[in-house]
Amino acid sequence: MRYRVRHATRYDYAASVDLAAHLLHLTPRGDLPGQRVISAGITATPAASRRRATADHFGNAATWLFLDAPHTSFAVVAEAEVAVDLPAPPAPDATPPWENVAAAANGLGAAGDAWAAAEFAQASPMAPASPAAGAYAAASFPPGRHILAGLLDLNARIARDFRFRAGVTTIATPVEDVLSRRQGVCQDFSHLMIAALRALGLPARYVSGYVRTRPPPGGARRRGADQSHAWVGAWLGPGAGWVDLDPTNALVVRDEHVVLGWGRDFGDVSPVRGVVLGGGTHGLAVSVDLEPLDPGALDTEPRDHAAARERAVTPG
């Protein structure tokens, strides 16, 4: 499946900004089996006085923009064309018991890519190894259960047990609050699942990206469309690699998502973050479209770009 991505962000400031530095994670990863970036570009208004492209600690594409002329608004538009056909995961019963995966991540009999996965078994600010979340996940991981079988069960339970509702949480809402409220958005459900898996000693990472704006013909609309989306990457053990799971939609990620990047939690891969001198209070508008380009993939829903695909910065 080929997609066109357009992600627009605009800040309007109450007072002039004299200096600004912005870190962007807005370029899709092009080094994945099954994801190829055909083209990608980022445009900023006003134009940056200095710009630097780099890769972060996790191998994600990152762009620094530095502005040294006074301005009262800042807009950045990222556009890309991406081909996606991520490989299917192995059969659940072909994956090892979850306890073996946890042991490998903790250095016991470690082999293959265990050293790299181990980092994602550790607590992070927004996805700690929460005992309460671990207790919730325990029902999906009885002794000896194959790791992928447990992951699929947990993924489905979160989609079933939690209500998708915007505006009841912020990026600072703790995992324990999400667990008690049983509602939130994709960021909340992803942090919850990651925290639950880390509590069991299992590596899990936060994946930032997009889910297609309109569903396939005859399909259900995905929760978290029209904005930045988030899901979970889970390690299946040495040699088995990673599988991406979307607990907001109870999906195995294959061809309806585009991966921007991953980290320990949202703080590592925020699409736009920065530091400004001046500005005072500000308003923020974000709009996202992920549209299929393949013949026959478009549905018949009318396009209404005036219908304010403007969302809060919180993904999901």
Give the integer Cα–Cα distance in Å for 215 and 181. Answer: 28
Position 178 in a domain: yes
What lies within 8 Å, CB to CB, of 33 at 6+ separation is 86, 87
How many helices (H) does the chain have, and how many strands (E)? 6, 14
Q: 176 by DSSP, 3-state: which?
A: helix
| CA angle at 28 for the pair 58 and 236, rounded to the nearest 5° | 55
Q: pLDDT tens, 33-86? A: 999 999 999 999 999 999 999 999 999 999 999 999 999 999 999 999 999 999
Position 301 in a domain: no
Backbone angles phi, psi at 115, to 5 degrees: -60, -35
109 and 198, same domain (yes or no): yes
160 and 221, same domain (yes or no): yes
> Region 211-239: what's the mean pLDDT?
76
H helix intervals, the chain: 98-105, 114-117, 131-138, 147-161, 175-181, 186-199
98 and 147, same domain (yes or no): yes
What lies within 8 Å, CB to CB, of 71 at 6+ separation is 13, 16, 17, 20, 46
Residue 215, pLDDT score: 62
251 and 278, same domain (yes or no): no
Backbone angles phi, psi at 247, to 5 degrees: -70, -15
Residue 304, pLDDT score: 30
Sheet of strand 242-246: strand arrangement: 251-252, 242-246, 229-235, 204-211, 257-263
Report which DSSP code applies to 97: B
Using an 8 Å Cβ cutoff, are 274 and 21 in contact? yes
Give the integer Cα–Cα distance in Å for 282 and 19. Answer: 15
206 and 96, same domain (yes or no): yes
> Region 156-164: what's the mean pLDDT?
97
Which amino acid does the sequence have at 38?
I
Residue 74, pLDDT score: 98
Residue 89, pLDDT score: 95
74 and 140, same domain (yes or no): no
45 and 116, same domain (yes or no): no
205 and 135, same domain (yes or no): yes
Backbone angles phi, psi at 32, to 5 degrees: -100, 145
Q: pLDDT tens, 259-315? A: 999 999 999 999 999 999 999 999 999 999 888 997 554 443 333 322 223 333 446
Q: pLDDT tens, 164-209? A: 999 999 989 999 999 999 999 999 999 999 999 999 999 999 999 9
Q: Record the pTM.
A: 0.90
* Whether pLDDT at 111 is above 80: no
Which amino acid does the sequence have at 98?
W
Position 71 in a domain: yes
Residue 31, pLDDT score: 86
Position 238 in a domain: yes
Q: Which domain holds residue 20?
A: 2-84+269-292
Q: Please tell me the least confidently modeled range out of 16-20, 136-140, 220-224.
A: 220-224
288 and 222, same domain (yes or no): no
Q: Which CATH number covers residue 40? A: 2.60.40.2250
Q: 295 by DSSP, 3-state: which?
A: coil
202 and 285, same domain (yes or no): no
Give the integer Cα–Cα distance in Å for 271 and 276. Answer: 16
Tally of CB atoms within 10 A around 88: 10
Position 307 in a domain: no
18 and 116, same domain (yes or no): no
The strand pairing partners of 242, in sequence order, are 235
Position 297 in a domain: no
253 and 282, same domain (yes or no): no
Instruction: Kindly write down the DSSP assignment for every residue of 205-250, as one continuous string.
Output: EEEEEEE-SSPPTTPPPPTTTTS-EEEEEEE-STTT-EEEEETTTT
267, 284, 308: which is the final residue of a domain? 267
Position 220 in a domain: yes
Confidence of residue 217 (pLDDT cuts 50, 70, 90): low
Q: Which CATH number covers residue 212? A: 3.10.620.30
- The pair of three-digit structure tokens given for residue 187, joined into one six-digit string: 């960021």
Position 287 in a domain: yes
Give the integer Cα–Cα distance in Å for 38 and 49. Answer: 27
How many structural domains are present in the chain? 2
Beta strands 282-292 and 242-246 are unpaired
